Amino acid sequence: MTTLASFLDCNRYLFDCVCPACEQDWPPQDHLPSKVKGLPKAAYLGKEDAVKKGLSKLATLLQGRKKNDPNGDDPDEALRFHRNLCYLSGSLLRRPHALLITAEDDLHEALRKKALS
C-alpha cells in the first residue's frame, strides 16, 4: 500500500518531514475510515457517553451535507454548516479519518466562496 506520506510526496523537498502523516506512516486518504459509527474505541476522542451523543449529532449534521454545498447560493449558511461539521467531527474523531480531510476541504471552499461574495 502507498502511504499518505509517499502519496503526498512529502520528501521531495529533501528534508525529513515531521508531519503526523509522515511520522506515523498514515495510509492514503482512500484507505482511511470514512464511516463514523462502529469504529474501534481508539478511533474516537473523549469519553464513551460524550462520543455516543456527539456521533448522533454528527449523523444528523451529515444528512444535511448534500444541500449545504460549500459553493452553494448562501455563503453564510454554507460557512456556518461546514464550520460546525469541522468542529464536531474534529472533536469526536481521532486522525487520520477521511471525514476530517473532506470536512476541512469543504470548510476551506466555503471560506473561499464567502471571501469572494
- Residues near Zn ion (CB under 5 A): 10, 17, 19, 22
| Closer residue to Zn ion, CB minimum distance, 20 or 72 | 20
Cell digits of residue 14: 529533501
Q: How far apart are CA 38 and CA 21, in angstroms?
A: 23
Minimum CB–partner distance for residue 31 and Zn ion (Å) = 16
| Closer residue to Zn ion, CB minimum distance, 16 or 73 | 16
Minimum CB–partner distance for residue 40 and Zn ion (Å) = 25
Minimum CB–partner distance for residue 26 and Zn ion (Å) = 9
| Closer residue to Zn ion, CB minimum distance, 16 or 48 | 16
| Closer residue to Zn ion, CB minimum distance, 22 or 43 | 22
User: What is the dihedral sign for C-alpha 40, 47, 94, 81?
Assistant: positive
The answer to whether the beta carbons of residues 26 and 20 sit under 8 Å apart is yes
Q: How far apart are CA 33 and CA 25, in angstroms?
A: 15
Minimum CB–partner distance for residue 63 and Zn ion (Å) = 34
Upstream peptide bond of 96 is cis (omega within 30 degrees of 0): yes
